[in-house]
Amino acid sequence: MELAQEKVPLSGAKLAVAIKAMETAGFLERLTVRIMKLAAAKGFYNPFNNEDVDLPGGKSAGDLAVDIIEKSLDGSYTWDEKKQPDFYWFCWSRAESILSNWLTKNRRMTTMSPMLEDGENGELDSNPVNTAADGGDIYEVLRFRNGGALGNQLLEDFALSLPDKSHEQAILMAVHDDRECIRRRHCREKLAVSEGDYDAAMKRIQRAAPKFLTEWCQKNNIKTEDRKEVR
Amino acid sequence: MNDKKPIELTKLERLAALLRDDGIDPETMNADQLAQYLKVYKVDMSDPQKRFASVLKKSKARQSLEFAHERRQKAVDKSKAILSAGADAVEAVKEKVRVMIKNLGQHDPDQAQVYAREFEKATPEDLAVLEEDLTLLEMEASENDKGDSQNPR
């Protein structure tokens, strides 16, 4: 039987570095915004509802930031300051890892029944991944059902619904064909679109999205009850 | 950091990422701008801020405890050295501390009185702690004097 590794809280020089970092103005807020950006780049924000975000454990970005800081300090996460001397970026890397693991697990899962895992103090605990608050039912269905095939179709349909040969259509097709194109610089360079044209096209995409998404769901008979099938 | 290669997203997730991208880089923002950004996105930070303040406070308390433990350990080692050196060494430290308290009395009679009371009942171990405290005070006073002479009013 493998023994659980003992948690060693930060101390000495490492604790001093962490405290100094935490005392910099806006440390928590910066990490929170960084987590929001990270979550956005990984598709955690529901395009069907602007305010809905489904982070692991049903937490807000701010709560997740404090959890990470707390666990980094109490030794739940092992901070190797030789690999990452900056405490802030270490916390960021933990957020990156948490969000990536959540996505990977959800890709693998065909059922969402709660899994029990060894928690702290050796007690069985339900995995936060399985107890995550649902973000948007439709988004969840489209994201994970049939390996996301429905969602793939949605992006293509959205692109084709936009004016032919427009920048906005070109951007969506580029994102469809090349995952790197979610990065604006990469996308602009690939399409040879100026910053101004890109921003204007993105505004048009953002304006067109809500109506298109509603109509697309109606046309394809996607209902919130479908989420039960996912579970 | 923004150029990190994205993980494999479904095409719908790519759309979600695209719609949410505002081109903002938090590393270029100051504390006020970050607070404003969170306000715009209606992120309630009151609870996380309270928890964060408590985590920071606990960490500082742990650090103070570590310092105190180190100081105590140093004092214990020092007192052992004094005791093993014999009664003359103890007397020499006593005399040194007595002079330091006298010097302190010239700047801060109240504090000197507190140390004098401690000195009366001090064990060799306490003497070592007193010596260290007074040395730190002397260093602090000397730093302050230096600061004053560099920034005359």
Ordered by start, the domain boundaries in chain A are 12-126, 137-230
In this prediction, residue A27 has a pLDDT band, given cuts at 50, 70 and 90, of: very high
Report the pLDDT value the prediction gives residue A172, as an integer from 0 to 100.
95
**Are B19 and A47 contacting, i.e. CB atoms less than 8 angstroms apart?**
yes
How many helices and strands, by DSSP H and E, does chain B display?
Answer: 6, 0
The yes-or-no verdict on residue A135 having pLDDT over 70 is no
What's the gap in Å between the CA of B133 and the closest CA on chain A? 21
CB contact under 8 A, B17 and A148: no
H or E element in which residue B11 lies: helix B11-20
Structure tokens at A105: 């697990």
**CA A177 to chain centroid:** 21
Residue of A nearest to B69 (CA): A12
Q: What is the mean pLDDT of residues A50-69?
A: 83
Report residue A217: phi and psi, to 5°.
Answer: -65, -40
Q: What is the mean pLDDT of residues A37-41?
A: 89
Structure confidence by residue, pLDDT tens digits, A139-153: 777 777 666 778 888
Report the pLDDT value the prediction gives residue B110, as an integer from 0 to 100.
87
Nearest CB partner across the interface for A47, out of B5, B15, B24:
B15
**CA B111 to chain centroid:** 22
Where is pLDDT greater, at A34 or A1? A34
Report the pLDDT value the prediction gives residue A3, as an integer from 0 to 100.
58
Is this prediction's pTM over 0.80? no
Amino acid in the structure at residue A50 = N
Find chain A residues with C-beta within 8 A of B49's C-beta: 28, 62
The yes-or-no verdict on residue A124 having pLDDT over 70 is no
**3-state SS class at A80:** coil
Nearest CB partner across the interface for A184, out of B8, B23, B26:
B23
CB contact under 8 A, A43 and B30: no
ipTM over 0.90 threshold? no
Q: Is A171 on the interface with B (CB under 8 A)?
A: yes
The yes-or-no verdict on residue A10 having pLDDT over 80 is yes
Where is pLDDT greater, at A36 or B130? A36
In this prediction, residue A173 has a pLDDT band, given cuts at 50, 70 and 90, of: very high
What's the gap in Å between the CA of B148 and the closest CA on chain A? 27
The yes-or-no verdict on residue A57 having pLDDT over 90 is no
CB contact under 8 A, A16 and B63: yes
**What is the average pLDDT value for chain A, to the nearest integer?**
81
* CA atoms of A45 and A141, how far apart (whole Å): 14
The yes-or-no verdict on residue A88 having pLDDT over 70 is yes
Report the pLDDT value the prediction gives residue A227, as an integer from 0 to 100.
39
Report the pLDDT value the prediction gives residue B60, as an integer from 0 to 100.
94
Where is pLDDT greater, at A205 or B136? A205
Residues of chain B with pLDDT under 50: 1-4, 153
Report the pLDDT value the prediction gives residue A74, as an integer from 0 to 100.
94
CB contact under 8 A, A182 and B6: yes
Report the pLDDT value the prediction gives residue A137, as an integer from 0 to 100.
60
Cβ-based neighbours of B147, under 8 Å, separated by 6 or more: none
CB contact under 8 A, B37 and A151: no
Residue % of chain A over a pLDDT of 90: 48
The yes-or-no verdict on residue A162 having pLDDT over 70 is yes
* CA atoms of A160 and A154, how far apart (whole Å): 10
* CA atoms of A184 and A190, how far apart (whole Å): 10
Hey, what long-range contacts does A164-171 have (CB within 8 A, 24 or more apart)? A166/A201, A166/A204, A167/A191, A167/A193, A167/A197, A167/A198, A167/A200, A167/A201, A168/A201, A168/A202, A168/A204, A168/A205, A168/A208, A170/A201, A171/A198, A171/A201, A171/A202, A171/A205, A171/B18
